[in-house]
Amino acid sequence: MNRPTAHFAIGSHTRLTGLLGSPVAHSMSPLMHNEAFRRLGLDYVYLCFDVKEKELEAAARGLASMGAAGFNCTMPNKMRMCELADQLSTAAELCGSVNTVVVEDGKLIGYNTDGIGYMQAVREAGHDIRQKSMTLLGAGGAATAIAVQAALDGVLELYIFNRKGRSWNRAAALTDRINSHTSCHASLYDFADTTELKKALDRSAILTNATSIGMAPQEEDCPIQDEQLLHEGLIVSDIIYNPRKTRLMELAKSRRCPTFNGLYMLLFQGAEAFRLWTEREMPVPAIRDMYFAD
């Protein structure tokens, strides 16, 4: 991975942005944002703060009091931030989680840019899934953001598959919210129901794996067992980015399905947060080449 070649100066007017979560040491966000600030000559800095859920309210209010431009939230803080925000975007409200906060007049305005990042990644891969159907595997944090944004952006039918376990009721509530607040029709199925999965995939333009199945170090795992389920022309996307090429993507390639991984979702959720804080577009091609090369 390339490293930034020059440093920017922190001065008395430098605006603060950053990440509140625990752990945060692995995050790519400081690299991406600080390089983008530097390239555009913006007097901003992005720092990581190890903040646990019980400390979030004090940290978030403190940043607002000190005039920070805004911040990102990651695990375990996204749902709690949704409760703490003074105002929410439609997507954040429907998701019940916030990954980006803009500080405006001391108020905390909560957004969720994860789904926006995914939908931009779909477009970047050359696809238009408006008025089409999507099969979504998983109903965790990332899947929820994708489901909500896909529904808001005009996906017609959403088939969500999740395990019948501790998250089932939350997934059912998400499906209800999508059906009552958007024009998309969402339905929820048991992850183990391969008959329904086949029906859903036959009707879908895109399959999105938003489970953690296949993520390192369990790289041999695959959320789809039968390659015959993947019809010709089905777009197969995995939001996992470690490894870059998952077993699911290999399976899809063997069926000649177009594929893409989770790297661009990560890039574009950051680009949207950057735009919200600075009202400038992130220099995406340069950042992509430095940190998100496939």
Query: Among residues 64 and 161, whose Cβ is nearest to ligand NDP?
Result: 161
Cα gap 82→88, rounded to integer Å: 8
Cα gap 115→121, rounded to integer Å: 10
Sketch the per residue contact string, 103 through 122, with ligand NDP: x for CB under 6 A, - otherwise: -----------x--------
Q: How far is the CB of 243 from ligand NDP (least distance, A)?
A: 11
Q: Should residue 270 be labelled a site residue for ligand NDP when binding is judged by CB under 6 A?
A: no
Cα gap 271→274, rounded to integer Å: 5
Query: Among residues 42 and 137, whose Cβ is nearest to ligand NDP?
Result: 137
**Residue 230 contacts residue 204 (beta carbons within 8 Å):** no
Neighbours of 131 (CB within 10 A): 10
Tokens of 127: 């696809």
Query: Among residues 126 and 165, whose Cβ is nearest to ligand NDP?
Result: 165
Cα gap 280→292, rounded to integer Å: 20
Reported residue count of the chain is 294
Query: Among residues 41 and 217, whose Cβ is nearest to ligand NDP?
Result: 217
Q: Which of 68, 69, 94, 139 is close enough to bind ligand NDP by CB under 6 A?
A: 139
Q: How far is the CB of 33 from ligand NDP (least distance, A)?
A: 15
Q: How far is the CB of 62 from ligand NDP (least distance, A)?
A: 26
Sketch the per residue contact string, 195 through 224, with ligand NDP: x for CB under 6 A, - otherwise: ---------------xxxx-x---------
Q: Should residue 162 be labelled a site residue for ligand NDP when binding is judged by CB under 6 A?
A: yes
Cα gap 28→18, rounded to integer Å: 12
Q: Should residue 287 be labelled a site residue for ligand NDP when binding is judged by CB under 6 A?
A: no
> What single-letter amino acid sits at 184?
C
Cα gap 19→72, rounded to integer Å: 5
78 is catalytic: yes
The region of 38-46, 53-61, 65-73, 136-144 touching ligand NDP under the rule CB under 6 A is 136-144
Q: Which of 101, 186, 266, 276 is close enough to bind ligand NDP by CB under 6 A?
A: 266
Q: How far is the CB of 163 from ligand NDP (least distance, A)?
A: 4
Cα gap 90→251, rounded to integer Å: 36
Q: Should residue 155 be labelled a site residue for ligand NDP when binding is judged by CB under 6 A?
A: no
SS3 content of the chain, % helix, strand, coil (to 5): 40, 20, 40
Q: Should residue 91 be labelled a site residue for ligand NDP when binding is judged by CB under 6 A?
A: no
Q: How far is the CB of 117 from ligand NDP (least distance, A)?
A: 6
Element housing 63 (H / E): helix 56-65
Q: Should residue 163 be labelled a site residue for ligand NDP when binding is judged by CB under 6 A?
A: yes
Tokens of 134: 């999507």
Catalytic residue among 54, 78, 198, 253: 78
Q: Should residue 167 be labelled a site residue for ligand NDP when binding is judged by CB under 6 A?
A: yes
Element housing 47 (H / E): strand 44-50
**Residue 22 contacts residue 56 (beta carbons within 8 Å):** no
Chain residues that interact with ligand NDP, rule: CB under 6 A: 114, 138-143, 162-163, 165, 167, 191, 210-213, 215, 239-241, 262, 265-266, 269
Residues annotated catalytic, as ranges: 78
